[in-house]
């Protein structure tokens, strides 16, 4: 078993009598059904269905914790606070809190077989141990109680999430995709029967009318790539890199790409080639001209 602090993540505490109802009305998952000792994936969206942030929501009983990209934390909390009005919901960023990843040795990629709308998040020794669907464990609590940072383990964690198809939105990629483009419908980040929330109509229409023309793919690059890098095919925009991790011969990326370029040659803005390794959406076998 290997573990490391993951600096990518920040943590927000949500307290107050209306915390559950308020977040239920703002996020894409069924927060009211989340029992104490459980966690779930969720997205926070614009009215047009674009993902502002995706996150883990942890119900500790007396409060809720939101775990998301650290560089999105301040702007996301500011936006949520705008809609609190008279609701009894208090958002408190926790700078002394963080998240660490724990992986079994040689754990293979585990793409989602079916959506998991909730999973275990046991509290022990003031640390929440979240059993993620892809087989990794996320430890959430005070940084002083979490495992020390280890670069190799962080890269292993990122690679596992990329190869398993679990993306994370950051500042460079906010509002670039709707939930289905980010596998949220397959990992359990969207509850399609929970009722209204920002972007719900767009996300539901995309789900039931099949209007999503982009999806997630794992790409191998011979160069070091970064989130937010635009992908091209024949000099036309073809997608965007969501997450990346250094690899032996460049980098491994998780990207949202057009379905039409799934079998095509892709490159970044500087002409560096990227090769599709895995698709998380269905397409025909016809090469793209």
Q: What is the pLDDT of residues 24-33, one digit of tens each?
A: 999 999 999 9
* DSSP conformation class of 269: T
Please state the separation of Cα 43 from the chain's center in Å: 8
Please state the separation of Cα 16 from the chain's center in Å: 26
Q: pLDDT, tens digit, for every residue of 229-265?
A: 999 999 999 999 999 999 999 999 999 999 999 999 9
**Who contacts 215 (Cβ-Cβ below 8 Å, separation ≥6)?**
180, 181, 183, 256, 257, 259, 279, 280, 281
Does residue 288 surpass a pLDDT of 70?
Answer: no
Does residue 23 surpass a pLDDT of 80?
Answer: yes
pLDDT value at position 209? 79
Average per-residue pLDDT for the chain: 95
Q: How confident is the model at residue 285 (pLDDT cuts 50, 70, 90)?
A: very low
pLDDT value at position 284? 61
* % of the chain with per-residue pLDDT over 90: 92
Q: pLDDT, tens digit, for every residue of 182-225?
A: 999 999 999 999 999 999 999 998 888 777 899 999 999 999 99
Q: Which long-range contacts (CB under 8 A, 24 or more apart) does 232-239 make?
A: 232/266, 232/267, 232/268, 232/269, 233/258, 233/261, 233/264, 233/265, 233/266, 233/267, 233/288, 238/264, 238/266, 239/214, 239/266
Does residue 287 surpass a pLDDT of 70?
Answer: no
286 vs 260 pLDDT, higher one: 260
Global pTM reads: 0.95
* Nearest in space to 176 (alpha carbons), one of 50, 79, 73: 50
Q: Are 190 and 62 in contact (CB under 8 A)?
A: no
pLDDT value at position 208? 82
Which domains occur in the chain, in start order? Answer: 2-173 (3.30.1360.120), 213-289 (2.40.30.110)
Stretch 113-133: mean pLDDT, rounded? 96
Rg value, the chain, Cα: 18
Helices in the chain by DSSP H: which ranges? 19-26, 73-82, 151-164, 184-187, 200-209
Does residue 164 surpass a pLDDT of 90?
Answer: yes
Q: pLDDT, tens digit, for every residue of 255-277?
A: 999 999 999 999 999 999 999 99
């Amino acid at each position: 078993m290997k573990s490391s602090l993951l600096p990518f993540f920040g943590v927000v505490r949500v307290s107050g009598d209306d915390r559950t109802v308020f977040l239920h009305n703002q996020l894409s998952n069924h927060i009211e059904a989340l029992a104490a000792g459980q966690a779930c994936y969720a997205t926070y969206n614009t009215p047009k269905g674009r993902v502002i942030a995706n996150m883990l929501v942890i119900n500790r009983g007396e409060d809720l914790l939101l775990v998301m990209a650290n560089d999105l934390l301040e702007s996301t909390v500011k936006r949520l606070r705008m809609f609190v009005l008279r609701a009894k919901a208090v958002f408190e960023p926790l700078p002394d809190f963080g998240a660490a990843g724990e992986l079994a040795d040689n754990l293979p990629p585990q793409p989602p077989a079916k959506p998991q709308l909730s999973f275990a998040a046991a509290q022990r020794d003031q640390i929440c141990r979240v059993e993620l669907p892809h087989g990794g464990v996320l430890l959430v609590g005070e940084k002083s109680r979490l495992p020390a940072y280890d670069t190799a383990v962080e890269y292993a964690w990122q690679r596992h999430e990329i190869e398993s198809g679990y993306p994370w939105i950051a500042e460079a990629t906010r509002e670039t995709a709707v939930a289905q483009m980010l596998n949220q419908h397959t990992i359990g980040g969207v509850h399609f029967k929970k009722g209204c929330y920002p972007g719900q109509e767009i996300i539901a229409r995309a789900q039931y009318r099949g209007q999503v023309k982009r999806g997630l793919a794992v790409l191998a690059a011979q160069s070091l790539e970064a989130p937010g890098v635009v992908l091209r095919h024949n000099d036309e925009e073809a997608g965007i890199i969501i997450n990346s991790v250094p690899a032996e011969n460049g980098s491994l990326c998780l990207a949202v790409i057009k379905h039409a370029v799934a079998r095509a040659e892709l490159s970044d803005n500087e002409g560096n080639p990227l090769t599709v390794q895995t698709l998380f959406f269905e397409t025909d076998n016809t090469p793209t001209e």
